[in-house]
Amino acid sequence: FNVCFFQVKSEGPKLVPFFKATCVYFVLWLPTSSPSWFSALIKCLPIFCLWVFLLAHGINFLVSHRSASRILAGLIFSAVGDAFLIWQEQGYFIHGLLMFAITHILYSSAFGMKPLDLKAGLLMGLVCSSCYAFLYSYLSGPFTYLVAVYIALIGFMGWRAVAGMQLCNDLWTWTKLSACIGAMLFMVSDLTIALNKFCFPVPYSRFIIMATYYAAQMLIALSAVESRDEEDFRKRS
C-alpha cells in the first residue's frame, strides 16, 4: 500500500499540464461544425501533455521499458487520429479510424500476451461480437468490414489489459488496474462514437466521448510507469 501511495503521489504533479489542457478543451468547447487547425491543437493538447508526462521519466526509461515506448508511440498515433477526426465530415473519418487502429495494436503489444487468460478473452469476444451485431444493420459500404476490424482490434487490446490485471490471483498492481480501466473507458468512448455516427444521436455524446477518451489515455499512460517509482520508494525507505 505504501508503494502504491508513493507512486500515485509522485506521478500526480507530472499530470498537472494534462489536467489543465483538458480543462481548456472543455471550457472552449470548440464547435465541430467549424474545423480548424486551432481546434485540432486544442483537442490534441491533452495528448501532447501525456507525451511530455512519459518523456519526463527520461529517454533511458523509455528505451529500457518497451511497454512504455509503445504506449508513447500509441499516444503519437492517437494525436494524429484526433486531428483527422476534426475534419471527419470532409472525408477523413477513415484516416482517423486507421490511426486509432494502429494505436490499439501498439497498446496491445505494450500490455503483452502473458498471462493469456482465455476466459477474459472469451468474455471480451462475446461483448465485441454483440456490439458489432447491433451495429451491423446500420453499416454500409466499406464501414461494414472496417468497423468489424476496428472492433476486433480494440477488443483484443481490452482483453490484454484485463488479462494483465490478474485480479483473481491477487497479483494486480495499480499500474495494471490503470491499464484495465483505461482500456474499458476507451471502448466506451469508441462505442459512443459508433452509436452517434452510425445509429442514432446520443445525448451529450461529445462530452461522454471526450471525457472517457481523455481519462482512458491518461490511465493507459500511467500504466507505463511501473518500476522506476517503486525503486525510488525502496531507496527512500
Which tens digit of pLDDT belongs to each residue from 30-79? Answer: 766 678 999 999 999 999 999 999 999 889 999 999 999 999 999 999 99
The widest CA-to-CA distance across the chain, in whole angstroms, is 60
Q: In the structure, what pLDDT confidence band is assigned to residue 173 with cuts at 50, 70 and 90?
A: confident
Lowest mean pLDDT among 46-55, 78-87, 223-232: 223-232
Q: What is the pLDDT of residue 5?
A: 53
Give the DSSP per-residue string, 123-191: HHHHHHHHHHHHHHTT--TTHHHHHHHHHHHHHHHHHHHHHHH-TTTT---HHHHHHHHHHHHHHHHHH
d(CA 200, CA 208): 15
Count the helices and strands in the chain (H runs, E runs). 11, 0
Q: What is the pLDDT of residue 4?
A: 52
Q: What is the pTM of this model?
A: 0.92
Q: What is the pLDDT of residue 229?
A: 45
d(CA 192, CA 196): 6
CA distances from 212 to 44, 122, 160 (A): 15, 24, 19
Cell numbers that stand for 82 in this block: 484526433
% of the chain with per-residue pLDDT over 90: 74
pLDDT of residue 28 exceeding 70: yes
pLDDT of residue 13 exceeding 90: no
pLDDT of residue 9 exceeding 70: no
pLDDT of residue 88 exceeding 60: yes
Residue 203: cis peptide before it, omega within 30 degrees of 0? no
* Average pLDDT over all residues of the chain: 89
In the numeric block, the cell 476490424 is attached to 149
Q: What is the pLDDT of residue 189?
A: 98
Q: Give the single-character DSSP code of 227.
A: S
In the numeric block, the cell 482490434 is attached to 153
pLDDT of residue 10 exceeding 90: no
pLDDT in tens, 105-161: 999 999 999 999 999 999 999 999 999 999 999 999 999 999 999 999 999 999 999
Q: What is the pLDDT of residue 33?
A: 60
Q: Which amino acid is at 43?
A: K
